[in-house]
């Protein structure tokens, strides 16, 4: 059976694996990334470390599982590298998509008619260029998939796919090419930018790997997870990691804007092949699994993530205790960066079990917020929610999500569906699978059916809305900022 090597560079780790045409993921190798935070709001990675880890782990996966036929690369989107193509060396740190050092630049550019967010690549390129003391035409820009493809191909490929290009802040409407006006306003040079290619297709050869397999897929992490959960012609998935990311296939006309929609969702490129782009939307909750980490590492209420389920199930209800997970703002539907998290309804009888249960229920409610925003934006009826990510190991959380959305929740057979998606896309890109083949292999690990009556669910959602109102505008000067 044909096999794809999936290379998955996340925000905190690199993962490689083999994926076959049945969607089975095997021979996984994983290692953590060094993440630096030199100042509050600044998040840096080491591009050379990323490249070396990819080559090392990919070699181990191939040695263990045998040669692969094709390669798919998926990555944390918008993390930005500027490098010298002559030496192959970065001219500064890699600025993570989470890095906020260019917030002021974004606000200044708004006054000049250019709407950008600090988690996009555009202003990060500008910052790295200015601090390199080098002319723009001597340097190249890369997001992670571009950087990896460049090295795998022996420095012959300088490409990015449409799903990644679409979130740089530098593409034209439709993500078919780079926007000359934005490039000029930022003081960049078009020669810095990679060639935009389809997500799936034969892009070149990974000569740095044993057997020199073809590179047949490049894709951003969330569209990859969407594909990994077999959402091809339709479907919704939510990845519950540090935050929560809802992605939905909603193919249709090219969107009229690449900026946030009234619903708080974003248009995204779900994938492209043969010059045809499939569109989707994305909704984001800024805090999800990070709240569980906070319970463990910050408050000391639990010793492990798994203990949160044990405590939540030890009591019949949260007894009026609510928690809004807004540790760094809210996200969709209202992008309030000044909102902050809060516990409400605490009494002398409240215990850590009530607080932990309230946190899990609060994250589930934020998931429901994302679903409702997607429904408002598209008018679509969502028959099921497919989920992946670390939090889906928690069965109490999965049931809570089904209850507050009123929609069945199906759990991905592969918790890291991003890796699976990159492999499946590579197989499709090489012609070893069809899109209908991918849809046909969906087989959820578990299914959670809603257990609440509609009246009770509606009542809980109404109370939740009032809790959200109580945390909005906690830091007014941040709440007034919009990107």
Cα–Cα distances in angstroms (integers) from residue 139 to residues 47, 105, 132, 196, 390, in the given order? 15, 21, 10, 17, 38
1, pLDDT greater than 90: no
Report the percentage of the chain scoring pLDDT > 90: 95
| Shared domain check, 209 and 286 | no
Task: For residues 397 and 152, give the distance between their C-alpha atoms in angstroms, rounded to a whole number.
Answer: 40
H/E run at residue 82? strand 81-84
We report the CATH number of the domain holding residue 184 as 3.30.420.40
Last residue of a domain, one of 168, 201, 223: 223
Question: What pTM did the predictor assign?
Answer: 0.96
Tell me the torsion sign for CA atoms 300, 303, 304, 309. negative
Query: Is 98 part of any domain?
Result: yes
pLDDT at 334: 94
DSSP 216-282: EEEEEHHHHHHHHTT-SSS-EEEEESSSEEEEEE---SPPS-SSPPTTS-EEEEEEEETTEEEEEEE
| Shared domain check, 258 and 193 | no
| Shared domain check, 189 and 308 | no
3-state secondary structure of 28: strand
Per DSSP, which regions of 328-467 are E strands?
342-344, 385-388, 409-411, 446-448
Task: For residues 190 and 171, give the distance between their C-alpha atoms in angstroms, rounded to a whole number.
Answer: 12
Last residue of a domain, one of 194, 223, 252: 223
Query: Is 21 part of any domain?
Result: yes
> Could you tell me if 95 and 128 are in contact, meaning their C-beta atoms sit under 8 angstroms apart?
yes
Query: Is 443 part of any domain?
Result: no
Query: Is 436 part of any domain?
Result: no
Structure token digits, residue 295: 């319970």
Q: Which of 82-86, 171-175, 232-236, 336-340 has the lowest mean pLDDT?
A: 171-175
Task: For residues 442 and 451, give the distance between their C-alpha atoms in angstroms, rounded to a whole number.
Answer: 24
pLDDT at 252: 74
pLDDT tens for 381-436 read 999 999 999 999 999 999 999 999 999 999 999 999 999 999 999 999 999 999 99
Burial of 149 (0-12, 13-18, 19+ CB in 10 A): buried
Query: Is 362 part of any domain?
Result: yes
| Shared domain check, 177 and 322 | no
Find where tokens 């040669």 sit: 67
Task: For residues 362 and 89, give the distance between their C-alpha atoms in angstroms, rounded to a whole number.
Answer: 44
pLDDT at 256: 82
Task: For residues 260 and 283, give the distance between their C-alpha atoms in angstroms, rounded to a whole number.
Answer: 10
| Shared domain check, 324 and 188 | no
Query: Is 250 part of any domain?
Result: yes
Query: Is 281 part of any domain?
Result: yes
| Shared domain check, 404 and 259 | yes
pLDDT at 251: 76
Task: For residues 300 and 175, give the distance between their C-alpha atoms in angstroms, rounded to a whole number.
Answer: 46
Query: Is 419 part of any domain?
Result: no
DSSP 412-450: -SSS-HHHHHHHHHHHHHTTSS-HHHHHHT---SEEE--
For range 237-244, the mean pLDDT: 95
pLDDT bin (cut points 50, 70, 90) of residue 258 is confident
3-state secondary structure of 108: helix
pLDDT at 475: 95
Q: Is the peptide bond before 333 cis (omega within 30 degrees of 0)?
A: yes
266, pLDDT greater than 80: yes
User: Which DSSP letter does residue 298 get?
Assistant: I
Q: Which residues make beta-bridge pairs with 19?
A: 4, 25
3-state secondary structure of 131: helix
301, pLDDT greater than 90: yes
Task: For residues 26 and 1, give the distance between their C-alpha atoms in angstroms, rounded to a whole number.
Answer: 13
| Shared domain check, 313 and 177 | no
Task: For residues 386 and 415, give the distance between their C-alpha atoms in angstroms, rounded to a whole number.
Answer: 11
| Shared domain check, 285 and 207 | no
230, pLDDT greater than 80: yes
Residues 6+ apart with CB under 8 A from 264: 283, 331, 332, 333, 334, 335, 373
- How do strand 94-95 and strand 70-75 relate by DSSP bridges? unpaired
> Could you tell me if 110 and 66 are in contact, meaning their C-beta atoms sit under 8 angstroms apart?
no
Last residue of a domain, one of 223, 249, 268: 223
> Could you tell me if 73 and 218 are in contact, meaning their C-beta atoms sit under 8 angstroms apart?
yes
Cα–Cα distances in angstroms (integers) from residue 472 to residues 330, 337, 346, in the given order? 8, 9, 19
> Could you tell me if 72 and 426 are in contact, meaning their C-beta atoms sit under 8 angstroms apart?
yes
Mean pLDDT score across all residues of the chain: 96
pLDDT at 142: 98
pLDDT tens for 11-33 read 999 999 999 999 999 999 999 99
Closest CA relative to residue 235, chosen from 388, 71, 36: 388
For the chain, what is the domain count? 2
For range 193-216, the mean pLDDT: 98
For range 207-221, the mean pLDDT: 97
Task: For residues 182 and 277, give the distance between their C-alpha atoms in angstroms, rounded to a whole number.
Answer: 22
Closest CA relative to residue 416, chosen from 137, 25, 20, 139: 25
pLDDT at 104: 94
| Shared domain check, 207 and 168 | yes
| Shared domain check, 179 and 93 | yes
pLDDT tens for 40-96 read 899 999 999 999 999 999 999 999 999 999 999 999 999 999 999 999 999 999 999
> Could you tell me if 51 and 151 are in contact, meaning their C-beta atoms sit under 8 angstroms apart?
yes
Find where tokens 């550019």 sit: 109
Q: Is the peptide bond before 209 cis (omega within 30 degrees of 0)?
A: no
**Full residue range of the structural domain in which residue 306 is found:** 230-411+452-483
| Shared domain check, 33 and 52 | yes
Find where tokens 């917020």 sit: 369
Structure token digits, residue 118: 């600090």
| Shared domain check, 262 and 195 | no
């Amino acid at each position: 059976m044909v096999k794809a090597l999936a290379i998955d560079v996340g925000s905190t780790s690199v993962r490689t694996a083999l994926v076959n045409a049945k969607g089975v993921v095997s021979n996984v190798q994983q290692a953590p990334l060094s993440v630096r935070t030199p100042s509050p709001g600044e998040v840096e990675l080491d591009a050379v470390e990323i490249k070396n880890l990819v080559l090392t782990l990919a070699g181990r996966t191939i040695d263990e599982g045998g040669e692969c036929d094709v390669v798919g690369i998926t990555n944390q989107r918008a993390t930005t590298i500027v490098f010298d193509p002559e030496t192959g060396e970065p001219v500064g740190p890699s600025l993570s998509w989470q890095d906020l050092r260019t917030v002021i630049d974004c606000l200044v550019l708004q006054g000049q008619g250019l709407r950008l967010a600090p988690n996009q690549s555009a202003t990060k390129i500008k910052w790295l260029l200015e601090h390199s003391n080098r002319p723009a035409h001597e340097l190249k820009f890369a997001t992670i998939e571009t950087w990896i493809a460049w090295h795998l191909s022996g420095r012959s490929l300088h490409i990015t796919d449409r799903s990644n290009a679409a979130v740089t802040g530098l593409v034209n409407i439709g993500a078919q090419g780079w926007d000359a006006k934005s490039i000029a306003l930022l003081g960049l040079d078009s020669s810095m930018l990679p060639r935009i290619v389809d997500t799936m297709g034969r892009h070149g050869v990974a000569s740095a790997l044993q057997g020199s397999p073809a590179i047949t897929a490049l894709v951003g992490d969330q569209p990859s997870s969407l594909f990994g959960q077999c959402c091809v012609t339709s479907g919704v998935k939510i990845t519950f990691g540090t935050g929560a990311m809802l992605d939905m296939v909603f193919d249709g006309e090219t969107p009229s804007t690449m900026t946030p929609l009234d619903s708080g969702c974003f248009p995204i490129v779900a994938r492209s092949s043969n010059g045809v782009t499939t569109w989707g939307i994305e909704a984001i909750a800024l805090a999800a699994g990070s709240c569980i980490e906070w319970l463990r590492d910050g408050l000391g209420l639990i010793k492990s993530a798994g203990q949160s389920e044990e405590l939540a199930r030890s009591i019949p209800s949260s007894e009026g205790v609510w928690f809004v997970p807004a540790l760094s703002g809210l996200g969709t539907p209202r992008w309030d960066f000044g909102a902050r998290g809060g516990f409400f309804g605490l009494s002398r009888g409240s215990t850590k079990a009530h607080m932990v249960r309230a946190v899990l229920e609060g994250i589930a409610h934020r998931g429901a917020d994302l679903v409702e925003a997607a429904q408002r934006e598209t008018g679509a009826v969502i028959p099921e929610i497919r989920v992946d990510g670390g939090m889906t190991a928690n069965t109490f959380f999965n049931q809570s999500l089904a209850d507050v959305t009123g929609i069945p929740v199906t759990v991905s057979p592969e918790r890291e569906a991003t890796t699976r998606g990159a492999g499946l896309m590579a197989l499709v890109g090489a012609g070893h699978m069809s899109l209908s083949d991918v849809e046909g292999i969906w087989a959820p690990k578990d299914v959670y059916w809603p257990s609440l009556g509609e009246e009770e669910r509606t009542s809980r959602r109404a109370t939740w809305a009032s809790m959200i109102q109580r945390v909005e505008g906690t830091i007014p000067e941040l709440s007034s900022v919009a990107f």
